[in-house]
Structure 1
Amino acid sequence: MSHTVQLGVFMPVFNNGWIISKNAPQFMPNWEMNQRIGRYAESIGFDFLFSAVKWRGFDGETQHWNHTLEPVTEMSAIAAVTSRIKIIASMVPLYLHPVVAAKMVATIDDISDGRFGVNLVSGTYFGEFAQMGILPDDYATTRYDRLQEWLDIVNLAWTEERVTYKGKYWQLEDCQCSPKPIQKPRPLLVCAGMSERGMDFTAKNADMNFLAGKNFGDLTAVALQSKAVSSRVGKLNETATVLVIIIADTDEAAEAEVQYYRDGVDVAGWQNLTQVYAEDSDGKMAQALLEQAKNDVFYAALPVYGSPKTVAEKLAKIALDGQIDALLLTFPDYMEGLRRMDLEVKPEMERLGIQFSTTTTTSAGMGQ
């Protein structure tokens, strides 16, 4: 049995990445690091780079995610220093007018020569919006209605010369937005829809659904459910998931590294994070994270660790069991993790029936 997957990098635009631990590598996000990772990922055949959005961190001893880069501006710069790899940046419709967003996307699509995509973010951390004074009282129940109207306007701005629109949340009168994006019929759209409403919205409006689970079995079930929902609306949307990859020489060394991170868990950071989800979220994503947070340090991404052979076997199983189309990877040490992924893990995955959508020569220089 074979299956083709795309490989993506979840870019480190947040301090300290995805491990909430005092013992994990501590780093601040910056341009030099991100462009180096992006260019290297492109050189070894990765398919896409993904950048999330965050406006308020979780404090704790590590100040987890208190320091973040704005994803659209960061990824537009990375688009200018890469040539093949797809670029995906997160946008929050609540604080971004749809015509402004449409123009921004068209601009970056031009910079990237048709490689730009958008991850639509409707919520999860409502406190981020409240601190700015822009959180509507009914947002928890209306966020997908608002997102649908916002996206309808964006699509019109990408395709029509003049747009007049009378909606509940936005009104346009003979509005012009040119030039249009290079990609036709439109740029790639991504959404993380885990609830029933979220899956339905993503199936109808987007091309890819980012999914999570409290364990690998749960992830497989959610991925297959997402495929079924998109099939019911007459589409075949892709699925993706976020994973923390830890590659060591042996399984024992990898387990020791993971235990070291767990021994240094930032308890206050985790408590603050789970409190945010308890107050602001509903659906499967929130429940999965709350369950995971009880005894782990890996936030919003399942850990995959072991020797190169073991990591390859686990990744192949995840992709094959859930028919997952894209693996979005993060690493404690991005450059070293990407190097070992390229040289040691990918060949093992190919022997297990995994095909990669992009093929390039391995062992590209890490200094690129």
Structure 2
Amino acid sequence: MSDPDQKGFKLGVFSANADRGLSFSVVPEAWKAEWDDVAATAQIADRAGMDFFLPIARWRGYGGSTNVREWSFETFTFAAGLASITERIALFMTVHVPLLHPLYAAKALATVDHISHGRAGLNIVCGWNPDEFDMFGVTLQKEPYAQAKEWLDIIVKTYNSDKPVDFDGEIYKLKAAVSRPASLQKPRPVTMNAAFGPTGRDFAAENCDHLFTSFTDLETGKEHVTDIRARAQKFGRSVGVYTIGHVVCRPSQAEAEDYYDYYSRDMIDELAVDYHMQQKKNFSRSHEDEAFRLYKQRFAAGTGSYPLVGTPRKIAEDLAKFAEVGYGGAALSFVNYKDELPYFCQEVIPLLKEAGLRS
């Protein structure tokens, strides 16, 4: 996803721009997303050879005692800041399409691509939480991915046209639009999407380079990979399929499991996680229906992502299973990124190399 010479299973850091990352825990060591800690984490990941740094886009919190994720850094300026202190890791921006005009996005994205010397990436999301959109006075389109397609088309056209672009779409109507400089990457920076429903997956299959999906178990995860690849084939394309996991890596299995239960069962923000799950269930198709009923702890621990809990070898084996069912990589979260990522990089990444999953 970043260095073309880095083969095999890709590894990324997910949601470090937001307080508590993906967890809904009240443990005192929970991630605060203070800038100096974020910057240090990005440099740890960069030096360790991890492939990408992926933020979430969040505008308000989820209530409860922590109001989790209300503290979060805006992702274009976030990526620009990290670009100047890292060397090789891909830096993604996550954008809610309805909240940002495509010409502004084109200019901001190209700016980060130049600052980073071609390491910018774009995570295109349409949004799902109406409480956030009410803040902006914006109503979601009935066909949000139709808007997303126009939005991305405008970016690509303005980057690759030698003259001003007229655009007459259902959503956007532009006259003599330009965006200079264009991105260094051609025809545009690498793109991803995390759609779960069929319309969103078709959008990603037709327009994006990678699609992220969550899953409850490996067999279901394999079905997701098959579905996404089939959709891409309809458009004569192939896309990378990635997933998401939350990590508790400790020297012993018992230590890892004890801490996992402590932070995600004994010390959770009940009101916040219940509100989040209800909003997700009502307005987002990001998980299988069964996930909301069966896996509350996974939502408390890592927003419904897959748990990677155990020794370095156990986690390396689990990631190998991801690769076996067809995933090209995983975006990972931690209770505290700065404290926990060094151990993961030191102990797990070499095991993945030994297994032939990374070069």
Partner of 2:307: 303
Post-superposition Cα deviations, 1:221-279, rounded to whole Å, max 9, x if no partner, equal 21232122212321111011111111111111111111112112221111111221233
Partner of 2:354: 351
Partner of 1:209: 211
Partner of 1:155: 156
Q: Which runs of 5+ in 1 are unaligned?
A: 357-368
Instruction: Provide the secondary structure at the position in 1 that maps to 2:11.
Output: strand
Maintained 8 Å contact 1:195/1:285: no
Question: Partner amino acid for 1:63?
Answer: N
Instruction: Provide the secondary structure at the position in 1 that maps to 2:287.
Output: helix
Q: Is residue 96 of structure 1 aligned with residue 97 of structure 2?
A: no
Matches within 5 A, 1:318-357: 318-321=322-325, 323-356=326-359
Maintained 8 Å contact 1:246/1:304: yes
Q: Would the alpha carbon gap of residues 183 and 254 (structure 1) be closer, same or farther in structure 2, given more than 3 Å must change? A: same
Q: TM-score normalised to the size of structure 2?
A: 0.92
Instruction: Provide the secondary structure at the position in 2 that maps to 1:355.
Output: coil
Deviation at 1:220? 2.7
Q: Would the alpha carbon gap of residues 23 and 10 (structure 1) be closer, same or farther in structure 2, given more than 3 Å must change? A: same
Q: Which runs of 5+ in 2 are unaligned?
A: 1-6
Instruction: Provide the secondary structure at the position in 1 that maps to 2:323.
Output: helix
Maintained 8 Å contact 2:208/2:239: yes
**Alpha-carbon distance between aligned partners in 2 of 1:203 and 1:28, rounded to the nearest angstrom:** 35
Matches within 5 A, 1:178-257: 178-257=180-259
Deviation at 1:27? 3.6
Question: Partner amino acid for 1:270?
Answer: V
Question: Partner amino acid for 1:28?
Answer: K
Q: Is residue 45 of structure 1 aligned with residue 46 of structure 2?
A: no
Maintained 8 Å contact 2:38/2:338: no
**Alpha-carbon distance between aligned partners in 1 of 2:286 and 2:17, rounded to the nearest angstrom:** 25
Instruction: Provide the secondary structure at the position in 2 that maps to 1:42.
Output: helix
Matches within 5 A, 1:3-152: 4-23=8-27, 25-136=29-140, 139=141, 141-152=142-153
**Alpha-carbon distance between aligned partners in 1 of 2:68 and 2:218, rounded to the nearest angstrom:** 25
Post-superposition Cα deviations, 1:40-99, rounded to whole Å, max 9, x if no partner, equal 111111111111100121111222112111111111110111121111110112111111
Partner of 1:264: 267
Q: Is residue 168 of structure 1 aligned with residue 145 of structure 2?
A: no
Instruction: Provide the secondary structure at the position in 2 that maps to 1:303.
Output: strand
Post-superposition Cα deviations, 1:188-240, rounded to whole Å, max 9, x if no partner, equal 01111211111110010000001101233322321232122212321111011
Question: Partner amino acid for 2:152?
Answer: L
Q: TM-score normalised to the size of structure 1?
A: 0.90
Q: Would the alpha carbon gap of residues 163 and 4 (structure 1) be closer, same or farther in structure 2, given more than 3 Å must change? A: same
Structure 1 range deviating more: 334-343 or 246-255: 334-343
Maintained 8 Å contact 1:93/1:121: yes
**Alpha-carbon distance between aligned partners in 2 of 1:65 and 1:123, rounded to the nearest angstrom:** 15
Question: Partner amino acid for 2:235?
Answer: V
Q: Would the alpha carbon gap of residues 301 and 146 (structure 1) be closer, same or farther in structure 2, given more than 3 Å must change? A: same
**Alpha-carbon distance between aligned partners in 2 of 1:14 and 1:339, rounded to the nearest angstrom:** 19
Question: Partner amino acid for 1:318?
Answer: F
